[in-house]
Amino acid sequence: MTAEGSARILDRGYRKFEGRRSGVSGAVRSTAWHSTRSVLGLGRKARHKVAPVLVIVVAFFPAIVFIGFAAFLGGDEFVRDFLEGTIPAYSELPRQSLAAIVLFTGLVAPEALVRDRRDGMLSLYLSTPLTRITYMLAKVVSIVGLIAIVVLVPSIIYLLGLTFASLGPDGFGDWVTVLVRVLISGTLASLVYALVSMAAASITDRRAFASLSVVLAMLGTLTVIQVLVEGADLSINWRLLDPVNMPLEMLARMFGDVGQYRDLATERVYAANAAWAAASAGLLWFRYRKAGA
């Protein structure tokens, strides 16, 4: 205890920060990384890791199974010819994990967005060099990267596995071409899924409701379209409003293949995905234009 009146201020004044200043780009990277960690449950209790890990395992399962067949049965030339006709093409593989993609999409965006609004963190983010635009950019980067785990990464593993099993593309040039197509198509499909899920998740501040909103928005729209086209015998062009299959249809068209909707023109498939992305981005901006003010 000090005697009364003997207290002293030992350090006064403003001390300049001497560390490295990363600016807006650093704030975007940091926000994207911490959003990714939060969704995957990194640094959190084990129960937060269960759901994302299970869905990721399910998404990887088809690729691992087909690679296993190719590795263990591909030694004989006759069996290899048989496998080449039965295992899915690179453009078809993501459709094998469609259920996991939808579930993961419904999990990712709400966890990355809703917690910030619910906990009042959005206002804190906006007190940093981040603006609403750069904040949303960080979230888009994070969510696209996360969804790419279940859309893009299995295809890369599939390509590598088939290559080691001598069932991959012929020649280095063809291999690079397939890899580039896998990367570009998978990233674009992940972007469309990310924007649609973020728009649906922006409607509510409750995480469970937001997840339900994302899944219902995607599956509900798909169901209505199926009823209209198959039940009411409307034009096949209504399929363009399908947010579940359109990104994968675009992915297939980028390989020069056709997916589930063979009767749709390729340019309309691209336009539909662009429209989904633009409409979702517009709704997202409308919801966040005054948020955290």
3-state secondary structure of 76: coil
pLDDT at 13: 60
Q: Please name which of 249, 242, 235 lies closest in space to residue 220, comparing C-alpha atoms.
A: 242
Residue partners of 257: CB distance under 8 A and separation at least 6: 89, 91, 92
Angle at 142 between CA 138 and CA 146, to 5 degrees: 170
* Tokens 């023109």, located at residue: 265
Q: Look at the alpha carbons of 283, 287, 290, 293 in this order and tell me if their dihedral is positive or negative.
A: negative
Residue partners of 239: CB distance under 8 A and separation at least 6: 225, 229, 245, 246, 261, 264
Is 81 inside any structural domain? yes
Show the domain range for 170: 23-288
For residue 3, give the DSSP letter. Answer: P
pLDDT at 11: 60
Is 1 inside any structural domain? no
Amino acid, res. 251: L
* Calpha distance 106→44 (Å, rounded): 20
* Calpha distance 264→270 (Å, rounded): 10
Q: Cα Rg for the chain, rounded, in angstroms?
A: 24
pLDDT at 17: 56
- As a residue count, the chain comes to 293
Give the chain's domain count: 1
Under-50 pLDDT residues of the chain: 1
* Calpha distance 116→35 (Å, rounded): 10
Residue partners of 49: CB distance under 8 A and separation at least 6: 40, 41, 42
Q: Please name which of 109, 100, 285 lies closest in space to residue 201, comparing C-alpha atoms.
A: 109
pLDDT at 87: 81
pLDDT digits (tens, 9 = 90+) for 114-169: 888 887 888 888 888 888 999 999 999 999 999 999 999 999 999 999 888 888 88
Is 17 inside any structural domain? no
Q: Which pTM was predicted?
A: 0.87
Is 14 inside any structural domain? no
